[in-house]
A and B are shown apart, each in its own frame.
Chain A
Amino acid sequence: MRGLVKRYGGRPVVDGLDLVAPAGAVTAVLGPNGAGKTTTIECCEGLRTPTSGTVRVLGLDPVSDARALRPRVGVMLQDGGLPTGARAGEVLRHVAAMYAAPRDVDELAARLGVESFARTTVRRLSGGQRQRLALAAAVVGRPEVVFLDEPSAGMDPQSRQAVWELVRELRADGVAVVLTTHLMDEAEDLADHVHVVDHGRVIASGTVRELLTTTPDDEAGGVAGAVRFDAAPDIDLAALAAAMPGDGTDGSSPWSATSPAPGSYVLTGPTDPRALAALTAWLADRDLLAGSITVGRRTLEDVFLDLTGRHLR
């Protein structure tokens, strides 16, 4: 996908977006609500025609080559798209009937726990049950590419595990899986590649590890970690950073100390056991008792919030 732009009434929802989703991998499109995730995915599914830019799925154009692509692409829509009056089992069988060699419906239904509500009409299903049915419908045709728009929204933890397991299996079978999510743990546990999208653009891309180890302020920064602690206000941040162990690239300290709030501190740098000992020793020398010390690697959530901002939208 290159330079995808989709405007609604002149307002760009997707604004020059590039991304690639390789076969045999899970690609997550991560972003806050309204970032343009669903629009992007729908351009790939052929449901929307891009204002400009190029989208290719399996080398084909989703709109003009739709007939050739439909048998090879599985889709799970955010709003489900399931006929409400029919029974769950019927819906799955019906979608399977569209393919020459669908997956075994009973086996798939058992895998995703659909069989337990196969005789219930879609209208009466819970959110998680609908999601599982929609996922089953997306993969029943043995697609080579699967688009999942917020697959585990509204699911209980057991359902989520079942879904994740199926997604991993698809990946192992060489399927290109593209999913949108705003669930950090989903992206962290499942995705090989993460594209963080905001305001219709990709603002960060990489493997989960790459994203976690790159701090936004210090793109070249090595192993990033943070030690957060509470102590008396107004400690000497520069002296603390200088006292921390390790060498930076140009001989200066690799540590930085900040105080996001009075009495609350964040030390960022190569977090290892020595670093923690150095911090507590430094505090002991000054007769400062830390109220709490937490050592934490950055989570994808930190990265995400750093990138997209912490304000509500």
Chain B
Amino acid sequence: MSGTSTTGKTGTTTGSAATGAAPAWRRVAAQTAFETRAILRNGEQLLVTMVLPLLLLVGLVRTSVIELDTGGLSRVDFVTPGVLALACVSTAFTSQAIATAFDRRNGVLRLLATTPLGRGGLLAGKVLGVLAVEAVQAVVIGAVALAMGWQPAAAGILPALGVGLLGTAAFTALALLVAGTLRAEGVLAVANLVLVLLVVGGGLLVPPDQLPGALAHLATVLPSGALGEAMRGALQGTGVPWAAVLVLTGWTAVLAWAGARFFRWQ
């Protein structure tokens, strides 16, 4: 309507004739870029998605403060797949849950739902934004690991990508379930706490069978344990365990259903 003030009548006709949505791919691309920038620029989000995995990677490889049973592998080969799995959870779950919860509280979800983006486009933008951040994480973590002598199984890289996608689906669904049902402050606490619990006892970094007692069994059927095991299987060259893929797929289905069922937009 920039020209409207000078040409009132024509402005009106062009105004309504030109009214329309941008193509769907452009709307989703814009939302993806917006979400990605929001995460990469937010200090706390960067802490969880970039600094924490890198600290754990370097800390576990370079120091032996924590005793690891690497099963004959070098420390970096043993640890890196788990760190990648952790990075996936930190972005798909912790960071996304917090971002969505605050967007929900601030009415951002409602406002964007009234623009041509709609709810579907918003969701697509979020998922793609998560994948974009994960790509950055994979490159940075991979580069640091390679610099420390990481030798991933070349044949496992493609399966690892698939595992990463599946894990992203499961944990994004969990993030949306939590963000769409709890208060924003509650989500902040839960999302960080769950991440810590999963890292320590969820089979992400430490293989479930190395966990004590009942935790070993529990971690095997948790999405975190399944993701960690699948990632290790792929990148350590022992093959992706099908049980883990099955567990992750099951969680994805259940969490996606619950998210769709219980997510409240306001």
Which chain A residues have a beta carbon within 8 Å of chain B's beta carbons? 45-47, 66-67, 70-73, 75, 77, 79-86, 90, 94-95, 97-101, 103-104, 107-108, 134, 137, 139, 141-144, 169, 172-174
Flag the segment in B34-42, B61-69, B85-93, B154-162 that touches A.
B34-42
Please name 17 pairs of A and B residues whose Cβ atoms are closer than 8 Å in the assembled complex, sorted by A. Answer: A45-B114, A70-B115, A71-B19, A72-B19, A75-B115, A77-B107, A77-B110, A81-B111, A83-B34, A83-B38, A85-B42, A95-B115, A101-B18, A104-B2, A172-B8, A173-B15, A174-B15
Q: Which residue of A lies closest to B106 (CB)?
A: A84
- Given known contacts A70-B116, A172-B8, is B110 in contact with A81 (CB within 8 Å)? yes
**Which of B12, B18, B23, B118 touches A70 (beta carbons < 8 Å)?**
B118
- Taking CB atoms, residues of chain A closer than 8 Å to B41 are 85
- Given known contacts A70-B114, A142-B19, is B26 in contact with A97 (CB within 8 Å)? yes
Most chain-B CB neighbours within 10 Å: which of A47, A77, A134, A142? A142
- Given known contacts A98-B27, A99-B116, A141-B116, is B12 in contact with A173 (CB within 8 Å)? yes
Chain B residues numbered 17-46 whose CB sits less than 8 Å from any CB in chain A: 18-23, 26-27, 30-31, 34, 37-38, 41-42
- Taking CB atoms, residues of chain B closer than 8 Å to A169 are 4-5
Contact (Cβ within 8 A) A94 B30: yes
Residues of B contacting A: mostly: helix
Number of A-B residue pairs having CB atoms within 8 Å of each other in the complex: 120
Chain B residues numbered 43-65 whose CB sits less than 8 Å from any CB in chain A: none
B169 CB, min distance to chain A CBs, angstroms = 24
| Distance A46 CA – B20 CA, assembled complex (angstroms) | 18
Is B147 positioned at the interface, with any CB of A under 8 Å from its CB? no
Q: Which residue of A lies closest to B112 (CB)?
A: A81
B180 CB, min distance to chain A CBs, angstroms = 15
Contact (Cβ within 8 A) B4 A173: yes
Most chain-A CB neighbours within 10 Å: which of B23, B34, B38, B103? B34
| Distance A141 CA – B16 CA, assembled complex (angstroms) | 10
- Given known contacts A98-B22, A98-B27, is B116 in contact with A103 (CB within 8 Å)? no
- Taking CB atoms, residues of chain A closer than 8 Å to B34 are 83, 86, 90, 94
Contact (Cβ within 8 A) A83 B108: yes
A105 CB, min distance to chain B CBs, angstroms = 9
| Distance A172 CA – B1 CA, assembled complex (angstroms) | 12
A74 CB, min distance to chain B CBs, angstroms = 8
Q: Which residue of A lies closest to B34 (CB)?
A: A94
- Taking CB atoms, residues of chain B closer than 8 Å to A173 are 1, 4, 8, 11-12, 15
Is B102 positioned at the interface, with any CB of A under 8 Å from its CB? yes
**Which of B8, B12, B20 touches A99 (beta carbons < 8 Å)?**
B20
Contact (Cβ within 8 A) A98 B30: yes
- Taking CB atoms, residues of chain A closer than 8 Å to B5 are 169
Contact (Cβ within 8 A) A82 B111: yes
Contact (Cβ within 8 A) B113 A47: yes
Q: Which residue of A lies closest to B105 (CB)?
A: A79
| Distance A29 CA – B30 CA, assembled complex (angstroms) | 34
- Taking CB atoms, residues of chain A closer than 8 Å to B109 are 81
